[in-house]
Structure 1
């Protein structure tokens, strides 16, 4: 099949550009999500077993 626009190539170029130029942002997002999940995990584990 002949493709007029190779969409996968352009998506890959765009994602690589985002990774190069905004890596600090992805790190901050990753850290904040990890912190939120850890806090929720600690909170849920602190509930006594008898409450269920």
Structure 2
């Protein structure tokens, strides 16, 4: 296979490689329950009175 501009495959892979993303640990995956303010609750009850 030919590559543009005489570039080697390894050079192209390095140039276009996505940055590595560290995996989230198990404790980070579990999110804390959100604390709603009184204002948030009032808006939710006003917009969704049946719930």
TM-score (norm 1): 0.30
Greater RCO between the two (CA within 8 Å, min separation 6)?
2
Q: What's the TM-score once normalised by structure 2's chain length?
A: 0.31
Structure whose CA Rg is larger: 2
Indicate the structure with greater helix content.
1
